[in-house]
Amino acid sequence: MAQKEEDTAAAAPASQNGEDLENLDDPEKLKELIELPPFEIVTGERLPVNYFKFQFRNVEYSSGRNKTFLCYVVEVQSKGGQVQASRGYLEDEHAGAHAEEAFFNTILPAFDPAPRHNVTWYVSSSPCAACADRIIKTLNKTKNLRLLILVGRLFMWEEPEIQAALRKLKEAGCKLRIMKPQDFEYIWQNFVEQEEGESKAFEPWEDIQENFLYYEEKLADILK
């Protein structure tokens, strides 16, 4: 599969994925200190604060962010009309499978295939072409699946192959949009680890709204 981000961190790391790092408000410093663990798919209910602050930041140039974080909500509607919701997150290491494919391989099969499934993904970056193809194939053969994908950044959006893949996602019925500041706040509240007995308020970074508008315009141009 294609690598998920263009560049990788080059400097000697100090800890994994930003754990126990200083200068969290300096993304370039974080990039220099990030160390990737062995290639694997990681799952859980809540991701560490430092992972969120670095990996989900909607920067224009995503140097050092060479894996995907995917937070998901699965709502299953029973015959009686009751809705049961489950949530969690996945992170990938771009060697065996991307987080999008891992969701279909490991998370979705755990649910009863009969009822209608409304699935929402909050993803650090948009799918690569191979993942988009897997999403389309799954949607085509799973008629009771509805998928909304919210992304922090657009992955290699200038590439014609990526643009075509995003348009095909739309044609297949997948809803795709850029995360607003309120969506990042939702991730913070529902998917990020909090200190025991303490819930800190989400603190938007300085250019969060500006970068949202930048990516929203790019996506609109691609999908029109």
**Which residue numbers are catalytic?**
100
Reduce the DSSP state of residue 178 to 3 states and report it. Answer: strand
CB of 75 closer than 8 Å to CB of 101: no
Helix (H) or strand (E) holding 64: none
CA atoms of 205 and 207, how far apart (whole Å): 6
Q: Judge whether 198 and 171 are in contact, CB under 8 Å.
A: no
Report the C-alpha gap between 159 and 203 in whole angstroms.
Answer: 33
What are the backbone dihedrals phi and psi of residue 175, each rounded to the nearest 5 degrees, phi first? -90, 130
Measure the CA–CA gap between 85 and 123, rounded to whole angstroms: 18
Question: CA quadruple 128, 121, 142, 96: dihedral positive or negative?
Answer: positive
- Alpha carbons 177 and 159: distance in angstroms, whole number: 18
Within 8 A by CB and 6+ apart from 214, the residues are: 60
